[in-house]
Amino acid sequence: MLANVVLSTLVVCIPSTFLAVLIGVPAGYFLKIKRFKYRKMIVRIVYTLSGLPPVLAGLLVYILLSRKGPFGFLDILFTKWAMIITQVILIVPIVMLYTLSGLKNIDRVLENLDYLSVKGRKRYTAIVREYSKEIIYAIVLGLSRAISEVGGVLIVGGNIEGSTRILTTAIIFEITKGEFSNALMLGLVLLAISFTFNTILQILQGDVFD
Amino acid sequence: MKTQRYLKNVVAFFVLICVFGVSIFSGTASVKYKIATTTSIYDSGFLDFVTPAFEKKNNVKFNFISVGSGQAVKIFKNGDADGIIIHEKSFLNELKKEKLINGYTAFVSNYFILVGPKDKKDLFKKVKSVQEAFALIRKNNFKFVSRADNSATYIRELGIWKLAKVQPDFGGYIKSGQGMGMSLNLANEKKAFILTDEATFYKMKDKLESLDVIYQNPKEQVLTNIYYFAYSPKKAELSKFASYLKSKEFKNLVSSFNQKFFKKEIYRIVK
């Protein structure tokens, strides 16, 4: 029972963070170094979306994925996929925003790479290596958002036992039933998971850089 | 170089979890049905108690989405659920008119009861009907929690205010906008009156220390609470579940549920 909820939490939050980092870091990098029309406007939008209320994201994804919506044919409303999509929408702007501010001195790094005439794939590997600490921090931010979010995933997931019930929605459900001690227990489990993740990521950061 | 290896490990870890997750999605072989259900019958644990026997026998799996009756109807109307369990007949008649369902099966009932702060119980001793009790609450401007959420319980509550010929617009009227369980918690904290179904109340009773039954009467039509099951004609296989709800096996499960959690007959079989 609890194991299932914990597993569902991981199965939803980790892929959504992974996807969000996969999208958000390159997008943020692109936005940082390229100069084009409406760039400032887009940056402003990213800033705004980084504070997107989860319930609004949930509502939008719900409307899109409902059988009557444009993506209804996918038949994934009230599944983990819908929850992952909602979380990706929520996390991508945060990761982009962090990438924008995290890529300090990128111009100098790029200049050096030009000077050494590092090109193609090697160039990107070098950049990733240079900023791996920032990337790990972006993962931490994304994961924290994913794991603590409840409004959005409750709407699109439906809190189905054994399927879309994750720790946060289970907590809400226990409160609904007045089972406050169960809710508290689940909250502590959630905190422990978060702590574990952050420990792993911090060790990685430390091992690599200190 | 060391950095790169670490990053590779991180990526490999994430990919592994993703693949693991996807394999879980496609893990079970049984046919899944989504059933939108009203909170009261789900939160009481009833559905989770009576359905596994059916699921096992027919190799199907029910995914219950527990929301207020109003939202359940919306979910069903949009085609996002295959079946629906609610306790508001007018919604079902609407669905029938729109040909979204062929009919519906009444399977269990319980009663609506008025609960409220223990210390005010004596004031209601001489009350003869639920509308009289409501009128008394209005007259004294007592606190009253209303779900105000387009749920069946809320619709029934409005019906009773109408019978009492008073408008629920007094100072003590609190609109919670939440499900039955959460609204009961609120009423408990605020020492307020609330209309609820017997099952949810008795299931939570030990957590609702300031509340007690203020008025109940099984003979009043307006207080009967019947749960219905209906399904989309596109999912004709669900007729099996409808007949299961009329079976002997189901009846036995209902009585053992009552025994286990209430020690008295709360959910009654509908003939």
**For residue range A130-176, what is the model confidence (pLDDT) as tens digits?**
898 899 999 999 999 999 999 999 999 999 998 899 999 999 999 98
Closest in B4, B25, B79 to A129, CB measured: B4
Q: Do A78 and B66 touch (CB under 8 A)?
A: no
Residue B157 near residue B177, CB atoms below 8 Å: no
**Tell me: the pLDDT tens digits for A96-125?**
999 999 998 899 999 999 999 988 889 999
Distances (CA, A) of A164 to A11, B25, B229, B256: 10, 11, 23, 29
Q: Per-residue pLDDT for A209 more than 90?
A: no
Closest in B25, B66, B80 to A159, CB measured: B66
Looking at chain A from residue 164 to 203, which residues have their Cβ under 8 Å from any Cβ of chain B?
175-180
Closest in B15, B48, B182 to A176, CB measured: B182
pLDDT band with cut points at 50, 70 and 90 for residue A202:
confident
Q: Residue B126, class by beta-carbon neighbours within 10 Å (0-12 exposed, 13-18 middle, 19+ buried)?
A: exposed
More confident residue, B40 or A95: A95
Residue B242 near residue B54, CB atoms below 8 Å: no
Give the relative orientation of helices B2-25 and A132-148 as an angle to the nearest 10 degrees.
30
Residue B21: list chain A partners with CB under 8 A.
10-12, 14-15, 80
**Tell me: the pLDDT tens digits for B207-265?**
999 999 999 999 999 999 999 999 999 999 999 999 999 999 999 999 999 999 999 99
Residues paired with residue B155 on neighbouring β-strands, in sequence order: none
Location of structure tokens 């010929």 = B165
How high does pLDDT run on average in chain B? 90
pLDDT band with cut points at 50, 70 and 90 for residue B3:
low
Q: Do B17 and A208 touch (CB under 8 A)?
A: no
Give the type of residue at B244: Y
* Mutation target among A80, A160, A164, A169 for the B interface, most CBs of B within 10 A: A160
Count of H-run helices and E-run strands, chain B: 12, 10
Cα distance from A37 to chain B (closest Cα, Å)?
34
With CA atoms as reference, the chain A residue closest to B64 would be: A160
pTM to 2 decimals? 0.87
**Tell me: the pLDDT tens digits for B44-81?**
899 999 999 999 999 999 999 998 888 999 999 999 99
Distances (CA, A) of A84 to A9, A89, A154: 11, 9, 12
**Tell me: the pLDDT tens digits for A6-44?**
999 999 999 999 999 999 999 999 999 999 999 999 999
